[in-house]
Amino acid sequence: MSEVPAVSIQHLTRIFRLPTLRRQTVTAVQDVSFDIAAGQIYGLIGPNGSGKSTTMKVLLGLLRATEGKCSIFGRDSARVDSREDVGFLPENPYFYRHLTGRETLVFYGKLCGITGSALKDRIGELLALVDLEHAADRRLAGYSKGMLQRIGLAQAIIHRPRLVVLDEPTAGVDPGGSRKIRDLILALREQGITVILSSHLLEQVQEVCDRVGIIYKGKLVKEGALSELMSVEDQTEILLRNATPEVLKAVRALISSHPVTDLLTMGHPRTTLERLFLEVTDGSAVETREYVK
């Protein structure tokens, strides 16, 4: 592992002041700390309103931290030059609808200082990568959600950043479309690019991430390598198919006859991460604290 982490977030707290007369505040993120080693795919999961987007925006220097620090490859996020190393796809992005896919990439490429034939080649490459060659000269106003996310991903990596930040990359995209996005994320890892993504869809996080952080009500409640989080040493799972009530009854009887073994659960299986998730969030995965303007 390299010494400088791709992302370092230390004791990040972000408090929003609400535009009301009675100086109300919302603590969106509270004392969150984690590092991401270069080359990893990190998943930030949590229900809506738990502070995922806020964490990412502070990391990108779009919002200020109330307390704490973030850095990207050792450079403080508040500095403009730290953004040379990052690509960002915001949540539900809208790009300029009057531009075509190609024009969009030209615009963002130039902002990153790429010009001329280098830009042209890079755009051709990216359009092929995200499978939008056929729609390159259509205006974004006519793109589907999945296509927008893909052009968004292309603009995020146009300057070959070493870190890519994806906020809910598959939200609102149909299953076929989100499989495409997942494959693109895996392709980024092949190239050694670090990825941090947020999601409330656990299965997808489980499929692609090396490490996950579970964030709930602004706090990081669990954090670690997927392998560490998922294995519970003293427990064993038995998965049965076509078990009849008689078989289950016999199994129960066998277990209860054994002195040190306890039966913890019996029922239909869930994905492991989902169970963990429900455990640490008191089962209130659907609770939201949406801020309404």
* Binding residues for another protein restricted to 176-215, rule: CB under 8 A: 189, 192-194, 206-210
Q: State yes or no: residue 90 binds another protein (CB under 8 A).
A: yes
Q: State yes or no: residue 162 binds another protein (CB under 8 A).
A: yes
Pick the binder of Mg ion from 53, 100, 170, 199 (CB under 5 A): 53
Q: Which stretch binds ligand ADP (CB under 6 A): 44-52, 112-120, 142-150, 251-259?
A: 44-52
CB of 4 or CB of 287, closer to another protein: 4
CB of 68 or CB of 90, closer to Mg ion: 90
Binds 223: which of another protein, Mg ion, ligand ADP, none (CB < 5-8 Å by kind): none
Pick the binder of ligand ADP from 5, 43, 51, 146 (CB under 6 A): 51
What's the CA gap between 235 and 264, in Å, rounded? Answer: 9
Phi, psi of 154 (to 5 degrees): -65, -45
Can you list the alpha helix ranges (DSSP code H) found in 4-96? 52-59
Cβ-based burial of 55 (10 A; exposed 0-12, middle 13-18, buried ≥19): buried
Binds 73: which of Mg ion, ligand ADP, another protein, none (CB < 5-8 Å by kind): another protein
Q: State yes or no: residue 26 binds ligand ADP (CB under 6 A).
A: yes
Pick the binder of another protein from 111, 128, 255, 263 (CB under 8 A): 111
Can you say whether residue 217 is alpha, beta or left, with left for phi > 0 and alpha for psi between -120 and 50 degrees?
Answer: left
Pick the binder of ligand ADP from 50, 82, 155, 281 (CB under 6 A): 50
At residue 274's C-alpha, the angle toward residues 271 and 278, to 5°, is: 145
Instruction: Return the closest-CA partner of residue 106 out of 94, 88, 128, 121.
Output: 121
Tokens of 44: 């930030």
* Rounded least distance, CB 76 to ligand ADP, Å: 21
What's the CA gap between 75 and 67, in Å, rounded? Answer: 17
Contacts of 237 (CB under 8 A, 6+ apart): 269
Cβ-based burial of 120 (10 A; exposed 0-12, middle 13-18, buried ≥19): middle
Q: Which stretch binds another protein (CB under 8 A): 32-40, 124-132, 214-222, 254-262?
A: 32-40
Instruction: Return the closest-CA partner of residue 39 out of 86, 16, 6, 14.
Output: 6
Contacts with another protein by CB under 8 A: the residue count is 70
Interacting residues toward another protein by CB under 8 A: 1-6, 16, 37-40, 57, 60-64, 73-75, 80-81, 83-96, 98-99, 103, 107-108, 110-113, 115, 152, 155-156, 159, 162, 165, 189, 192-194, 206-210, 225-227, 230-231, 237, 239, 269, 272
